[in-house]
């Protein structure tokens, strides 16, 4: 879907009276605004329309991780997805089990890094999160600034000095970089995996000058886009210093809650559960916030909510909507056609939200064959998690995945992707002389790493030593061409 298609649905609701009321409420600092009778994807659409007009930093707190991820995908579709961030928990399953999730830490750190960046007037950024993630404390901005290493092309920087800085920040030296918190050094190439990025950086030194900086793919080790400047951020969870709430870190922010009381109760429930598991209960405040702390840190901030459930902060303004959920058709396409026809007779216009042209053609064919060709399909090439009806505007927005009763998958930018063709973690364990099985060339011995030039790009390759009729010969394989290998005893 091209960028030109994205504003279409926002243009359709641009003149809605509730949107103007939201803008007036937004202009009053410190308001708690109830969005009454807002359902389905209406929140995503109206919030995106408001954010596009006002700019600013907006934190959306959904009921759980999946709800936050679906909301995230709505904003990817409606706005510039480069300005939309996911803020998950930093532990696998739960903080109760204490197993840290590197991917979660990376996504959290990326969101915190975005919050630190200055914005021009009218610019916006969006953070989507959920109770368990909101409950975890974060480092304070000063500590983050102090621990971040900034490098740009043209800097004069001794490789040994950079290595010392990263080692002091808890980075581990390895042969191949494949996880956040690692770095490797081979000649003038310095690879490092920051906790604020889903791909590692490759710094190419010419003497003591940073000649180029690129991101590169973990599995193939091939360089990707060029960068002029990068920030290398360690795992801030392990650093001493003040641990504060996300609202305290974020500063001037607009908050959006589906149900604020539910979120804050979940935060306190998690705190009590962890407290019961801790050997040193006094340490709880270094890990988790409480309902009271969050309310204090959000005091004076604008808050939009779908339920007026917060006794400590009742709504002082209300924006009334006349929206309804998308009807359930249970794959009864004749029922859908009759609904579209009925909508038209009442003066409503129905839009089908779909990026799949084949699905729309299928519907048109079904309508024609069932004798309902007057059921007109108005396509919008966009995907939302839930459709809705806006009675004020007399517009119906129906999603194709709800019509066809299909499960909708979501994606989250910033996920660490590893190609299953090659496990870099295993490659990292290879030692000189280890036997390696290559899918095309057979058994060889690991002969180390070399640099090769392919299509003008310099990258790492693996050297394998083979034996054929008692004659030794060497092959150099680009890492992305290794389909299968293993080390063994021979």
Is the pLDDT at 425 greater than 70? The verdict is no
User: What pLDDT, in 10s, does the model give residues 342-375?
Assistant: 999 999 999 999 999 988 999 999 999 999 989 9
Percent of the chain with pLDDT over 70: 84
Contact 17, 392 (CB under 8 A): yes
**What integer pLDDT is reported at residue 468 of this predicted model?**
57
> In the block, which residue shows the tokens 């404390």?
137
Is the pLDDT at 224 greater than 90? The verdict is no
Is the pLDDT at 96 greater than 50? The verdict is yes
More confident residue, 432 or 483: 432
Q: Cα angle vertex 367, ends 364, 368, to 5°? A: 85
Instruction: Tell me the C-alpha distance between 359 and 378, whole Å.
Output: 13
Instruction: Tell me the C-alpha distance between 295 and 313, whole Å.
Output: 9
Going by pLDDT thresholds of 50, 70 and 90, the confidence category of residue 129 is very high
Q: 235: number of CA atoms within 13 Å, CB side? A: 18
Going by pLDDT thresholds of 50, 70 and 90, the confidence category of residue 242 is confident
Is the pLDDT at 423 greater than 60? The verdict is no
Q: Cα angle vertex 134, ends 133, 139, to 5°? A: 90
**What integer pLDDT is reported at residue 102 of this predicted model?**
85
> Which helix (H) or strand (E) segment is 348 a member of?
none
Chain mean position to CA 480: 26
Neighbours of 60 (CB within 10 A): 26
Q: Range with the lowest mean pLDDT among 42-56, 233-247, 264-278, 387-401?
A: 233-247
User: What pLDDT, in 10s, does the model give residues 320-341?
Assistant: 999 999 999 998 999 999 999 9
Q: In the predicted model, what is the mean pLDDT of residues 286-313? A: 96
More confident residue, 427 or 34: 34
CB burial of 91-114 (b: ≥16 within 10 Å; e: otherwise) equals beeebeeeeeebbbbbbbbbbbbb
End-to-end CA distance of the chain: 52
DSSP secondary structure of 127-138: EEE-HHHHHB-E
Q: Cα angle vertex 127, ends 126, 128, to 5°? A: 120
Residue 321, strand partner residues: none
Please name the residues in contact with 81: beta carbons below 8 A apart, sequence gap of 6 or more. Answer: 75, 413
Q: In the predicted model, what is the mean pLDDT of residues 81-95? A: 89
Is the pLDDT at 377 greater than 60? The verdict is yes
User: Given CA atoms 328, 334, 336, 340 in this order, what sign does their dihedral have?
Assistant: negative
Instruction: Tell me the C-alpha distance between 83 and 125, whole Å.
Output: 5
Backbone dihedral angles phi then psi of residue 224, each to the nearest 5 degrees = -115, -125
User: What pLDDT, in 10s, does the model give residues 259-283?
Assistant: 999 999 999 999 999 888 877 877 8
Q: What is the CA radius of gyration of the chain?
A: 27
Contact 131, 94 (CB under 8 A): no
Percent of the chain with pLDDT over 90: 66
Token reading at 317: 């303004």
- Residue 265 three-state SS: helix
Highest mean pLDDT among 140-149, 380-389, 452-461: 380-389
Q: Range with the lowest mean pLDDT among 61-70, 211-220, 360-369, 471-480?
A: 471-480
Residue closest to 275 by CA, chosen among 263, 264, 288: 288
Please name the residues in contact with 62: beta carbons below 8 A apart, sequence gap of 6 or more. Answer: 68, 70, 71, 128, 129, 130, 258
User: What pLDDT, in 10s, does the model give residues 32-51?
Assistant: 999 999 999 999 999 999 99
Contact 133, 88 (CB under 8 A): yes
Going by pLDDT thresholds of 50, 70 and 90, the confidence category of residue 482 is very low
Neighbours of 2 (CB within 10 A): 6
Q: What does pLDDT average to over the chain?
A: 87
Is the pLDDT at 77 greater than 50? The verdict is yes
């Amino acid at each position: 879907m091209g960028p030109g298609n994205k504003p279409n649905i926002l243009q359709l609701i641009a003149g809605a009276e509730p949107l103007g009321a939201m803008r007036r409420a937004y202009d009053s600092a410190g308001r708690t605004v109830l969005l009454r009778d807002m359902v389905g994807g209406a929140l995503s659409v109206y919030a995106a329309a408001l954010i596009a007009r006002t700019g600013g930093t907006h934190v959306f707190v959904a009921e759980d991780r999946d709800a936050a991820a679906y909301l995230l995908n709505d904003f990817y579709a409606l706005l510039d997805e480069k300005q939309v961030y996911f803020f998950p928990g930093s532990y696998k399953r739960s903080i109760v089990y204490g197993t840290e999730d590197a991917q979660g830490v990376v996504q959290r750190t990326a969101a915190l890094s975005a919050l630190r960046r200055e914005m021009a007037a009218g610019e916006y950024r969006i953070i989507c999160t959920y109770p368990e993630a909101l409950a975890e404390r974060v480092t304070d901005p000063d500590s983050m600034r102090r621990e971040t290493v900034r490098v740009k092309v043209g800097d004069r920087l001794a490789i040994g000095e950079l290595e010392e800085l990263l080692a002091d920040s808890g980075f581990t030296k390895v042969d191949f970089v494949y996880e956040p918190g690692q770095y490797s050094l081979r000649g003038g190439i310095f690879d490092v995996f920051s906790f604020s990025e889903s791909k590692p950086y490759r710094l190419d030194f010419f003497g003591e000058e940073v000649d180029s900086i690129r991101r590169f793919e973990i599995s193939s080790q091939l360089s990707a886009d060029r960068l002029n400047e990068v920030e290398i951020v360690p795992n801030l969870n392990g650093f001493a210093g003040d641990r504060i709430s996300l609202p305290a870190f974020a500063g001037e922010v607009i908050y959006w809650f589906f149900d604020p009381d539910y979120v804050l109760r979940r935060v306190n429930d998690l705190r009590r559960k962890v407290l019961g598991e801790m050997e040193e209960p006094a340490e709880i405040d270094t890990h988790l916030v409480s309902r009271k702390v969050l309310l204090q840190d959000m005091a004076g901030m604008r808050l939009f909510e779908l339920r007026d459930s917060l006794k400590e902060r009742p709504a002082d303004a209300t924006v009334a909507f006349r929206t309804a959920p998308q009807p359930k058709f249970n794959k009864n396409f004749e029922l859908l056609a009759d609904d579209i026809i009925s909508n038209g007779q009442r003066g409503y216009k129905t839009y089908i939200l779909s990026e799949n042209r084949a699905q729309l053609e299928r519907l048109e064919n079904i309508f024609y064959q069932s004798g309902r060709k007057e059921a007109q399909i108005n396509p919008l090439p966009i995907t939302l998690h839930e459709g809705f009806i806006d009675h004020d505007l007399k517009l119906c927005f129906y999603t194709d995945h709800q019509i066809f009763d299909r499960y909708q998958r979501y994606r989250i930018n910033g996920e660490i992707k590893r190609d299953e063709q090659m496990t870099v973690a295993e490659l990292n364990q290879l030692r000189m002389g280890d036997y390696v099985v290559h899918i095309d060339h057979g058994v060889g011995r690991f002969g180390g790493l070399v640099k090769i030039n392919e299509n003008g790009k310099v990258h790492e390759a693996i050297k394998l030593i083979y034996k054929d009729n008692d004659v030794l010969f060497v092959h150099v394989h680009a890492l992305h061409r290794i389909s299968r290998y293993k080390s063994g005893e021979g």
